[in-house]
Amino acid sequence: MEWLLDPAAWVGLLTLVVLEIVLGIDNLIFIAILADKLPPSQRDRARILGLSLALVMRLGLLSVMSWLVTLTTPLFSIGPLAPSGRDLILMAGGFFLLFKGTMELHERLEGGGHGSSSGPRVYASFWVIVTQIVVLDAVFSLDSVITAVGMVDHLAIMMIAVIIAIGIMLLASKPLTRFVNAHPTVVVLCLGFLLMIGFSLLAESFGFKVPKGYLYAAIGFSVAIEALNQLARRNLLKLDARRPMRERTAAAVLRMLGKRPPADEPDLPSANAPAIPAFGVEERNMVSGVLTLAERSIRSIMTPRTDVSWINIDDDADTIRGQLIEAPHSFFPVCRGSLDEVLGIGRAKDLIADLLTEGRVRRNRLRDPIIVHEAIGILRLMDTLKRSRGQLVLVADEFGAIEGLVTPIDVFEAIAGEFPDEDELPDIVADGEHTWKIDGAADLHHVEQVLETEGLIDEAQDFSTLAGYLLSRFGHLPKPGDACEYEIHHDHFRFEVLEMDGRRIALVRVDKKPQEPLSDEASLTND
């Protein structure tokens, strides 16, 4: 241990630590790119495992320095070429880097292998990524150890330098990984570095020594240019952030819809101007209603059969007159005996006039009913409503039974929220802070907006109301007092059945309790 008193040994240790870190940066960059292919929960584990394997491999190679020296001995000769074991390892590593770097660059530029907006991202297998990291560790460890052997004479100094360098890289790897993955242009630049390093390894394996200074100078110049690009982008984002949120959102939506925003931009507010609220809850809900309208089913916006007000032509005049006076509607389906036997659509004032003059409803004054299938899309339904000239549209199932009716106000409510008639109460009523009483027939889209949550709607299930959701959760007809719970992100919801109307869930109380995230799965409890 006499080297501890030798100043030259300490200088060599410091220099070797710096060189080991520099030589390990390319390995660290490649580990960061490979780790991004794994699920987020496995990335730190792969990163630490990869660097730990590099440490073990380098310490193992240092302990067999006598064998390492023999790697420079030519194994065979082919003409002017006499490759050694080191040359073959460098050649294999160079080809691997060129191949892997090219494939990664292709995926980044062409968009393959990284998921898409139309489906969930597909992650790579953990051990496949670890195997690739081990292969690269072997190449980079060999280069690092050969550098260490050529610089100092004491094995202890070499091992200490390697341990310190790997420790520093472990500390810096997570911030570097986060930065690289957050900036796509930096990833492309790093892949360019790997291609350059792979080419230099390949050239060195054939006896063409590429000075490391050239590589580091090129890398440094590229990093400086990219730093300027990132600074310019950051300043541009800061400048754009001074524009009101409403204006930026409107411009983004117009661009997505193919409309170019006006060239004359308004004056930007000063940085010291007070912050203006971007969008209120109602405005966000309206925008959400517009964007999701085409995806909704007609069942989610129609008035269900049980709530339809219709006229039975066989009733006496007084009964019909009383029904017309009590109901605040302009149009009524006129049927014989049941809603499925539709004769036509009558205007309220025309029906009253017939009752006053004729004492009965005249069938020849009824309008022909407009009936659509329940599978029709909302956009096609809107075209039908436009042609109906304000008349209601009936919805039928595949057997011809009337399921409900739709009016223009129903489409408007799907966008802007409820507009109850005189004979209706709001479906959702606040009953204190974080507590609501909700009608079982309330639309699930509206419920999600009021509760400020998501996940209640399941496109695979055939329900669109809160009652339908609860029935799917319970699996049986509940009784008053039965409850189920739902947890998502930071919120905990409890749905309790308050009233039943026959076999229909009439009223539900919902309690919202913010909490720490436990699970995104809903749990069911019967009280």
> Is-contact 17 158, C-beta < 8 A?
no
Whether the Cβ atoms of residue 488 and residue 455 lie closer than 8 Å to each other:
yes
Q: In the structure encoding, which two tokens stand for residue 45, read together? A: 């584990």
Element at 429 (helix H, strand E):
strand 428-430
Residue 100: name the closest of 139, 148, 145 by CA: 139
Residue 221: predicted pLDDT? 85
Listed in sequence order, the DSSP H helices in 420-527 are: 444-451, 466-474
Residue with tokens 């969008």: 279
Q: Are 198 and 94 in contact (CB under 8 A)?
A: yes
* Dist. CA 367–CA 391, nearest whole Å: 9
Whole-number Å distance between alpha carbons of 272 and 254: 28
CA 442 to chain centre: 27
Which residues fall within 8 angstroms of residue 232, CB to CB, at 6 or more apart? none
- Six-digit token string for 299: 């069942």
For residues 126 and 42, the answer to whether their CB atoms sit within 8 Å is: yes
Output the tens digit of pLDDT for each of the chain's 527 residues.
555 666 666 776 777 677 666 666 666 777 777 777 788 788 788 878 877 887 787 788 777 755 665 666 777 878 777 788 777 877 877 787 788 778 877 877 776 544 444 445 567 788 888 787 777 776 666 666 665 655 555 677 777 877 887 788 788 777 877 776 677 777 777 777 778 877 887 888 887 887 767 776 777 788 788 888 888 888 887 877 777 766 677 667 666 655 555 544 444 455 555 555 555 667 777 777 777 788 788 888 888 898 899 999 999 999 999 999 888 888 999 999 999 999 999 999 999 999 989 888 998 889 999 999 988 888 899 899 888 877 899 999 988 899 999 998 888 888 887 777 666 678 888 888 889 999 888 888 888 888 888 778 776 777 888 888 899 888 889 999 999 988 876 778 899 999 998 888 989 999 988 765 444 444 444 44
Distances from the Cα of 327 to the Cαs of 52, 156, 233, 323, 424, in angstroms? Answer: 77, 94, 61, 6, 10
Residues in the chain: 527
Amino acid (1-letter code) at residue 304: P
